[in-house]
A = this chain, B = another copy of it.
Amino acid sequence: MDIKHHVIKDFAFADGTVLPSVSVAYAVLNASAKKTALVVTCFRGRITNTCTFTEGALRDHRVVVAALLGNGESSSPSNTPNFPQATLDYRDCVNAQYDLLANGLHIDSLDVVVGFSMGGQTTYHWLVMYPGMVKNAVIICSSASTSGHNVQFLEGPRFALENSIDYVPIANRRQPDGSVTDKPCVRGIQAFGKAYSAWLTSAEWFDQESYQTLGFDTRADWDFTTTGPNYNGWEADDLLTMLGMWQRGDVKKTGPTDSLQDTLGTIKAPVLLMPAETDQYFRPFVSKKEAGMIPKATLKVIPSIWGHLAGSGSNPVDTQWMDDQIVSFLGSK
């Protein structure tokens, strides 16, 4: 996959920070297709492991996959001095992606925006911030405003990492020339991974030993990879920065009032919401509530024991199910 970088000069973040240069990493798939889709990465997502539906529901779409700020591919603490770690906001991601589309790729209309998890929260921001540009949206295992339960769950991995014996903030390791002294945070990141791991799927998934369908004989084998090697290449501060954006995620910041109803009421595009039945932190009852506030919402609950991962592309059965729903949603327009 050909990953490119769109550079924006003098980019202003929502918190007032202005950086001389910010980069959005992206890739364009199905480049010759007529329709256009934007797919946004999720927490701990890279462009290449993002579920894009490029061979199914979006096969007729030119698909732009854009990496969130903070993910290590786009501008992030790991590659950018003075990055606003503690205040990064979904609005920044959307503004940067808008610049990529408008000024980089000369795209002024999106047939569909698709996002899973943090990508879904970004999609909510797209719908409210650029209502004229988004014709349809697909929001998978996500929410418009991060719930108290979700914020609290994220406190676990955050504190596990920040208080670990080998965590040293990147700001304390940056040299005058901008380079960074390497300081592996092996134990801290594993503790982060452990505190995150049981939330990923569901009690039923463990009960049915579904890690075996991923090639792991035992829970311990799955745990070893999931909380260890799967974090290879991730910088602690990038993880913490994205996690903070997620905790602060609230589309109301972009709305006409401080009411979720008023904010979601501004959405003009048809929206397909697909929470997963067993998702432990983006609960379906929240999506159902949000669907009631979006003028043209379709709610389809993924019938799966894969919990949050049902929406990630990890399980082919769930991915096919979502693909079918997207085909039907876009086809009915």
Name A's B-contacting residues (CB within 8 A): 147-153, 155-160, 162-167, 187-188, 190-191, 194-198, 202-207, 209, 219, 223, 227, 280-281, 283, 285-286
Give 25 pairs: A residue, B residue, CB < 8 Å, sorted on A: A147-B206, A148-B207, A148-B209, A148-B219, A149-B205, A152-B206, A152-B219, A152-B223, A153-B198, A155-B197, A155-B223, A156-B194, A157-B195, A158-B194, A159-B195, A160-B164, A160-B194, A162-B191, A163-B188, A163-B191, A164-B165, A164-B191, A165-B165, A203-B281, A204-B285
Indicate which residue in B147, B190, B206 contacts A159 across the interface (CB closer than 8 Å). Answer: B190
A191 contacts which chain B residues (CB < 8 A)?
156, 159-160, 162-164, 191
Contact, CB under 8 Å: A286 / B160: no
Cβ B160 vs Cβ A203 within 8 A: no
Please give me the 9 A-B residue pairs with the lowest Cβ-Cβ distance, nearest first.
A156-B195, A148-B206, A160-B160, A149-B206, A153-B198, A159-B194, A152-B198, A149-B203, A159-B191
Closest residue of chain B to A153 (Cβ to Cβ) is B198
Alpha-carbon separation in the docked complex, A204 to B147 (Å): 10
**A187 to B, closest residue via Cβ:** B163
CB distance from A166 to the nearest CB of B (A): 8
State in angstroms the CA–CA spacing of A194 and B190 once bound together.
16
Of A150, A196, A203, chain B has the most CB atoms within 10 Å of the CB of A203
Cα separation A153 to B165 with both chains bound (whole Å): 21
- Give Cα distance in the complex from A219 to B156, angstroms: 15
What residues of chain B lie closer than 8 Å to A223, measured between beta carbons? 152, 155
Given A147-B207, A155-B223, A163-B187, output 12 extra A-B contacts at Cβ < 8 Å.
A147-B206, A149-B205, A152-B219, A153-B198, A155-B198, A156-B157, A156-B195, A158-B194, A159-B160, A162-B191, A163-B188, A203-B283
Contacts of A195 in B (CB 8 A): 155-157, 159-160, 194-195
On whether the beta carbons of A160 and B165 are closer than 8 Å, the reply is no
- How many angstroms from the CA of A208 to the CA of B283 in the assembled complex? 14
Smallest distance from the beta carbon of A278 to chain B beta carbons, Å? 10
List of B residues within 8 angstroms of A158 by Cβ: 194
Could you tell me the distance between the alpha carbons of A187 and B188 in the complex, rounded to whole angstroms? Answer: 13
Say how far A221's CB is from chain B's closest CB, in angstroms.
12
CB-contact partner of A196 in B156, B194, B204, under 8 A: B156
**Cα A191 to Cα B160 with chains together (Å):** 5
A197 interface neighbour in B152, B209, B219, Cβ under 8 Å? B152
